[in-house]
Chain A
């Protein structure tokens, strides 16, 4: 299990901000093996800073990151796979050499790195470009090489910062499948994304971060049910004032009245609605992750 607890980080300030910027204010969460953890939050909320601290690229002012019950060390991180927010590859290095080089850096033997590189290039569809310099590849193919660099050593943990940004829908599906495969083999996966539907579809649990704090965390289903069900009733051609005395809020759209409420007796509401006009819709809705997110960060 990967546990992040009470991370604090303040960036040094300039002349205009002598106190600096508090990037992380005690953020903490845990990712279990074989789980996919979605990390969401507005820009500047602290997602990238957290991931960089997990990967040892930044030092936290306080707090800890532990892996399998003990503090995470440099040698552990060598077995992690990392895709930073800012993509980076050696532009002039050949595709196969580059992937294999990162395999070696992660501690693989030359032969093992070569074999893993071949397999990955085949699976990600860049095998025929193996001897081209990276700069000759399309952006989409460069992304695949970037992913290969993160996966080549069969990592124990995957930390991916915005892995889906800039991908076309087909590439998104391919990447999602690759991540689910890794996850299925017991690897904890953390990724950040602004595509909340994608997070909702892929992740077992999510963390919503705002201003350097974790404002909500848990399984997606739990978060949704915890946020409470909303009863939504749509009545057509009703006289104004029919819902007086009922809980919730009513919005009017043309000749339709839409009532939303999280409390009250649903049967009573239905009877009143039927009496008032034509009931087009009557149902319980769970908030989407997007709604929970908006609720949590405002």
Chain B
């Protein structure tokens, strides 16, 4: 065990001192921070600039209290037409019967103008209509938008972290194999200590990354006020994401390292990892689909199937309410898959890592000797 810890510590110490790690961490933190502020910046209320000839205006504010309206008065129709064509105003109310626009009018503005006009004319005729009362009987719509946004961010972050860290394990295995340092290492360490140390060490580096990003994200969204829209149970969600990252990482990193042990040159890593990257890509697309339809059959079923569950389930829990027992069941299934990957990966690694030269065939390694 001691050897595994030494190997893991070396991975952490050499990795976190590299420029790539520091720059990557700063970059993702800035990105996460920006995403946390984005809803407040992009989600501004609608603003319309309207023109009028003379003093006639419509009571638009009463119809749309969340929008702002700016009125401009033009001395004659020619000046108003010019302003419309120049894009200075969205529409001009010309007399009581015509609205001048450049092309088709904005949907919402059109409806507002029509209904305010009708209301004003009916009121003049002595008819008053009480406005419809709106009542929401579903979940808070605002809550749902925030949840979906959160799920999308989660998909991207988990995907990037899994593919990045698993790739790093693969490159590390080949680095040791191609420089032949593995021969000296294996004279003092057992293969599982060296391989396990690499997986644990680079996993710790990944966790440092993930925890930093989560902390930055939570702090930034608290500062921007977006956090107010978060669903209840955020601590549980965050804890779940960390567990899912550990499970998904352990699965993919073990297999990536094992596959990488088959080749002896860095250039060959990509080709040997292709099948695994395909699986991660499929998980990614499934999870993206799940952000839109978190209660659909596909998302529900795939949130139990390892290794897809390692991205789909956390996304489902972020996007909708998922009973705890379902999450636990899915985690148990994934943990079993991780154990199987460890048994398989350790065997492949042990048998292949000292066979330098041409690419070792997986079939030859798996076959019992």
Q: Do A and B come from one complex?
A: yes
Interface residues of A (CB under 8 A from B): 12, 52, 55-58, 74, 77-78, 80, 82-84, 86-93, 101-102, 104-106, 149-150
- A12-B364, A57-B354, A89-B179 known; A102-B6 Cβ under 8 A: no
| Residues in chain B near residue A78, CB distance under 8 A | 188
| Closest A-B pairs by Cβ, 9 of them | A88-B181, A88-B180, A86-B180, A84-B183, A88-B179, A55-B187, A105-B188, A82-B187, A78-B188
| Residues in chain B near residue A77, CB distance under 8 A | 187-188
A74 touches B190 (CB 8 A): yes
Say how far A108's CB is from chain B's closest CB, in angstroms. 11
B180 touches A84 (CB 8 A): yes
B137 on the interface (CB 8 Å rule)? Answer: no
Q: Mark B1-27, 1 if CB is under 8 A from A, else 0.
A: 001001100100010000000000000
Say how far B187's CB is from chain A's closest CB, in angstroms. 4
Give CA–CA (A55, B182) in the complex, Å. Answer: 12
| Residues in chain A near residue B183, CB distance under 8 A | 52, 55, 57, 82, 84, 86, 88
Give CA–CA (A12, B185) in the complex, Å. Answer: 24
For A12, A90, A91, A150, the residue with the greatest tally of chain B CB atoms inside 10 Å of its CB is: A90
Give CA–CA (A52, B364) in the complex, Å. Answer: 21
Say how far A10's CB is from chain B's closest CB, in angstroms. 12
| Residues in chain A near residue B182, CB distance under 8 A | 88
| Residues in chain A near residue B179, CB distance under 8 A | 88-91
B189 on the interface (CB 8 Å rule)? Answer: yes
Give CA–CA (A101, B187) in the complex, Å. Answer: 14
Say how far B365's CB is from chain A's closest CB, in angstroms. 11
B226 on the interface (CB 8 Å rule)? Answer: no
| Residues in chain B near residue A87, CB distance under 8 A | 180
| Residues in chain B near residue A89, CB distance under 8 A | 179, 181
Interface residues of B (CB under 8 A from A): 3, 6-7, 10, 14, 175-176, 179-190, 354, 356, 364, 369
Say how far A68's CB is from chain B's closest CB, in angstroms. 18
Question: Is chain A's interface secondary structure helix, strand, loop, or mixed overall?
Answer: loop
| Residues in chain B near residue A93, CB distance under 8 A | 10, 14
Give CA–CA (A55, B186) in the complex, Å. Answer: 9
- B364 to chain A: closest residue by CB: A12
- A82-B187, A90-B179 known; A101-B6 Cβ under 8 A: yes
- A92 to chain B: closest residue by CB: B14
For B14, B176, B182, B190, the residue with the greatest tally of chain A CB atoms inside 10 Å of its CB is: B14
| Residues in chain A near residue B354, CB distance under 8 A | 57-58
List 5 additional contacts besides A84-B184, A90-B14, A102-B184; criterion CB under 8 Å. Answer: A78-B188, A86-B183, A89-B181, A93-B14, A102-B188
- B3 to chain A: closest residue by CB: A105
| Residues in chain B near residue A106, CB distance under 8 A | 188
Say how far A223's CB is from chain B's closest CB, in angstroms. 30
Give CA–CA (A88, B181) in the complex, Å. Answer: 4
Give CA–CA (A150, B185) in the complex, Å. Answer: 11
- A88-B180, A90-B179, A93-B14 known; A105-B364 Cβ under 8 A: no
| Residues in chain A near residue B364, CB distance under 8 A | 12
B180 touches A80 (CB 8 A): no
Give CA–CA (A58, B351) in the complex, Å. Answer: 10
| Residues in chain A near residue B190, CB distance under 8 A | 74
Say how far B185's CB is from chain A's closest CB, in angstroms. 7
Say how far A58's CB is from chain B's closest CB, in angstroms. 7
A56 touches B187 (CB 8 A): yes
For A12, A52, A78, A88, the residue with the greatest tally of chain B CB atoms inside 10 Å of its CB is: A88
| Residues in chain B near residue A150, CB distance under 8 A | 184
Give CA–CA (A55, B175) in the complex, Å. Answer: 21
Q: List 27 A-B contacts (CB under 8 A).
A: A12-B364, A52-B183, A56-B186, A57-B186, A57-B187, A58-B354, A77-B187, A77-B188, A82-B184, A82-B187, A84-B180, A86-B183, A88-B179, A88-B181, A88-B183, A88-B184, A90-B179, A90-B181, A91-B179, A92-B14, A101-B10, A102-B184, A105-B3, A105-B6, A105-B185, A105-B189, A149-B184
Say how far A4's CB is from chain B's closest CB, in angstroms. 16
Give CA–CA (A150, B183) in the complex, Å. Answer: 12
B187 touches A104 (CB 8 A): no
